[in-house]
Amino acid sequence: MQSQVSTKSPFLLRDVLLEHAARSQRDDLQLLDASRGAANWQLRRVLNAWHVLGLYAAAAPAAPPDDGEVALTLDPAAPHAEQFAQFAERIAAADPGLRDGCELLAEVWNWLADEVFPERSRDRIVYQFTEAVAGRAYATPPTLDFVQPIVTRYLAPLLFMGDADLAAQFQVIGCEGATTGIAMVASTLGRNGLVKPGDRVAMWWPTYEPLRDLVECQLGCEVVPIYRDPATGWAASPEELRKLDDPAITLAITVSPGNPVPVPTDAGSLDALERAVAANPRLPIVSDYVYAQFLDEPGETEIGRLPHNTIGIYSVSKDFGLAGMRIGTVLIHPEGAAQQALAGLAAEDRENADDRYCRRAMEPAEMPLAERVIADSRGVSFTHMSGLSTPLQVLACLCAAYDVIDPQSARYFGWVRGELRERVAALYEGLGLPEPGWVSGPSSRYSTVIDLREVARAHGGPELEVALRRHELWDLLAALAERWKVILTPGEAFGAGEWSARACFPSIDATGARELGRRVVEAVVTVARGN
């Protein structure tokens, strides 16, 4: 099994470890699963607003004379703003716990009518949102027309240093989670000949393991790791960044803040990417910005500095503890480098692309990149069925609007950052180790890489480290799962050290994190001593 630690998906290995934990005889221990990052909190106000709107969508429509259980489609000419206000008043009176959701919706309608869509009536806005949350119709267009102006206002301070005009230039594609967005973009780049098997793809290392699989196993490309140095706050050295000078590199992929290392792309790497783009203006950059909201403060990004070259990926749902909702967004500049590269395709690649989209575009050669991404997400043939489900598009907008207009949003995200900070401190207290340098920020504090050799040295000196290394990492992880009911994923699978493990903080509270650290210490000492 050890030989597969670096070759198999850490999430596949996680399933095996959960099987070990299921066989555990330690009924006295609670399972501590830090292998994935779904948060153990949710923002109540946004959820309440979404559900209240859903109740209105079910209650407002007329019904057939002989069947009151059937809701017909809404009348677009009805006074929906007034009707909703009356409905919300009744809901808030009947259940005060839902009052905050009703109030948020009222604030959202005012903001949208006054600032975002002044050309639309309040009735029209409420009608559009209600029809969408009801899920009665297919998404037309695939990303509903009210999504882009709302989401880009949310992302402007996070990814564009507050430049709302620049953010507004980007097309927004809703998708089933950020990972789906990455897969969609990679698929389209590959299918259109912009990235080909055998090409070299730069990736900052360590990184989120599925990205490596996507590049190597699905696109058939070679990964060029840009190694980051923990001694310099996980910044890449000038020597590593010189790898970007290679003209054979046809794509760069970053995760900022990183996973498993929760720090944003360093300034030197941004400078190097800028130089690489100057040398190769059509170099596409795919940047995953999941958890950027958890950073201490926004900073420079690839998409902010190189908007024409960067395709951005973001998860709105993760910010609000809604990982299972799977709400992702893809940001594509309509005049971006990848779009321009389509015009310069070799004849064979252009013909293949034209054949691929010929029945789904009047002029396939002129089909924009964003439309190709949308079409490819449904195997092209089912393009007319594209789009994130309409109720989730509404939820994405409510999440985004909450942060833009609600004064309480700063308090909520401040609580999230403080909570994650406490969990990091608790884990390292339990491990008996100093906190890593990235704790001082900027950091998302989403995950960490635990150096198990360091744990051994801290609790038994060099002798215990030597004893530990006589064993296999997998034996330790399996023992952790079965004997101590702790689930961690091997750091080596993410490109971290051979004797390391990845832990995620959103899924465990501070008490659990401290206990997890103590159990890791006990397991390391016990396994190293052969007990």
pLDDT of residue 68: 77
Same domain, 356 and 229: yes
pLDDT digits (tens, 9 = 90+) for 306-344: 999 999 999 999 999 999 999 999 999 999 999 999 999
**522 belongs to a structural domain:** yes
3-state SS string for 25-36: CCCCCCCEECCC
Distance CA 390, CA 371 (A): 18
Residue from 176, 122, 199, 202 nearest 392 by CA: 176
**307 belongs to a structural domain:** yes
**16 belongs to a structural domain:** yes
Domain tally, the chain: 3
The CA angle 374-375-380, to the nearest 5 degrees, is: 160
Report the sign of the C-alpha dihedral through residues 514, 518, 519, 520, in that order. positive
Query: How many angstroms separate the Cα of 483 from the Cα of each of 16, 28, 366, 479?
Result: 14, 11, 60, 5
Contacts of 523 (CB under 8 A, 6+ apart): 476, 479, 480, 483, 484, 486
Question: What burial class does residue 193 get, using C-beta atoms within 10 Å of its C-beta: 0-12 exposed, 13-18 middle, 19+ buried?
Answer: middle
Same domain, 191 and 319: yes
pLDDT of residue 371: 98
Tokens, residue 491: 């750091």
- Long-range pairs of 108-111 with CB within 8 A, sequence gap ≥ 24: 108/49, 108/398, 108/401, 108/405, 109/81, 109/84, 111/401, 111/404, 111/405
Domain hosting 294: range is 147-401
Which residue's entry shows tokens 């396939």? 364
Distance CA 23, CA 271 (A): 51
Q: Which of 102, 137, 172 is the last residue of a domain?
A: 137
Tokens, residue 165: 């005009």
Distance CA 314, CA 147 (A): 14
Residue from 282, 234, 236, 349 nearest 224 by CA: 236
The CATH number linked to 218 is: 3.40.640.10
Distance CA 419, CA 169 (A): 35
Residue from 133, 162, 65, 46 nearest 402 by CA: 46
Packing angle, helices 408-431 and 510-528, rounded to 10: 20
DSSP-derived 3-state class of residue 441: coil
Same domain, 169 and 292: yes
Same domain, 505 and 452: yes
Same domain, 131 and 248: no
Same domain, 24 and 54: no
Kindly report the length of the chain: 531
pLDDT of residue 203: 98
pLDDT of residue 401: 99
Tokens, residue 161: 């240093």
**φ/ψ (deg, to 5) at 172:** -120, 125
Tokens, residue 223: 């990964």
The CA angle 307-158-110, to the nearest 5 degrees, is: 110
Contacts of 367 (CB under 8 A, 6+ apart): 357, 361, 375
**105 belongs to a structural domain:** yes
Same domain, 97 and 176: no
**225 belongs to a structural domain:** yes
DSSP-derived 3-state class of residue 179: helix
Tell me the whole-structure pTM to 2 decimals: 0.96
Question: DSSP string covering 375-417, please?
Answer: HHTTTTTTGGG-SS-HHHHHHHHHHHHHHHH-THHHHHHHHHH
**142 belongs to a structural domain:** no
Residue from 375, 386, 333 nearest 142 by CA: 386
- The end-to-end CA distance of the chain, in Å, is 20
Residue from 60, 222, 184 nearest 131 by CA: 60
The CATH number linked to 496 is: 3.90.1150.10
Contacts of 464 (CB under 8 A, 6+ apart): 456, 457, 524, 525, 528, 529
Tokens, residue 263: 């720090």
Same domain, 326 and 230: yes
Distance CA 490, CA 495 (A): 9
Q: Which of 355, 375, 401 is the last residue of a domain?
A: 401
Same domain, 14 and 133: no
Other CB atoms within 10 Å distance of the CB of residue 483 = 19
Other CB atoms within 10 Å distance of the CB of residue 421 = 18
Same domain, 205 and 90: no
Q: Which of 401, 426, 446 is the last residue of a domain?
A: 401
Same domain, 334 and 480: no
Other CB atoms within 10 Å distance of the CB of residue 516 = 27
Same domain, 393 and 492: no
DSSP-derived 3-state class of residue 368: coil
Other CB atoms within 10 Å distance of the CB of residue 379 = 10
Stretches in the chain below the pLDDT threshold 70: 1-3
In this structure, the dihedral spanned by the alpha carbons of residues 186, 192, 195 and 198, taken in order and rounded to 10 degrees, is 110
